[in-house]
Amino acid sequence: MKRVFIGAVAGILGGIALGAYLFADTQPRAFLQAPDCAENCFSAEQLLGLLGSVGVQKFPGLIPQVIKETDKTVAMKHPVPQADIHYVIVPKKDIKTVGDISPEDADSLVDAYAVLNQIITEQNLTAYKVIINGPKFQTVQYLHFHLVSDLPE
């Protein structure tokens, strides 16, 4: 009985330590603030944003179809492209939306735009769009940029 108790306590403490490591650099999401929770607390967008944040920060090597990576940014092919060329450029720093940008985010944003520039230059893109969706239009609540273009002529 004593071993079961010690095992349970060790499991709980291990889970807390793992959670602290995984979520240390993430911004709070509404469902993590249960007392302040309104009707949209457990939205898929918020959960995907939190999981995306952990993945980009802690496990960038597991992200599929990465085309470029720096210490601050990951660029990948969009899993469901809407054009011939459709990439997603993601700062590794957890920023939920444009409205959450702070002066401390400047280095991450400059790096993301530098990665965008490198891709545009390397692929000789002349007709392209860079799209940033706001909270109601994000399918993942995590600041990211879409680079969309047709194949260069």
Q: What is the pLDDT of residues 68-89, one digit of tens each?
A: 999 999 898 988 889 999 999 9
Asked whether the predicted pLDDT for residue 136 surpasses 60, the reply is yes
pLDDT at 76: 87
Domains of the chain from N-terminus onward = 2-149 (3.30.428.10)
The answer to whether the Cα torsion of 12, 14, 17, 21 is positive or negative is: negative
User: Pairing relation of β-strands 128-131 and 145-149?
Assistant: antiparallel
Tokens standing for residue 50: 């939190």
Q: What is the pLDDT of residues 45-70, one digit of tens each?
A: 565 555 666 666 666 676 778 899 99
Helix orientation angle between 44-58 and 2-23, rounded to the nearest 10 degrees: 90
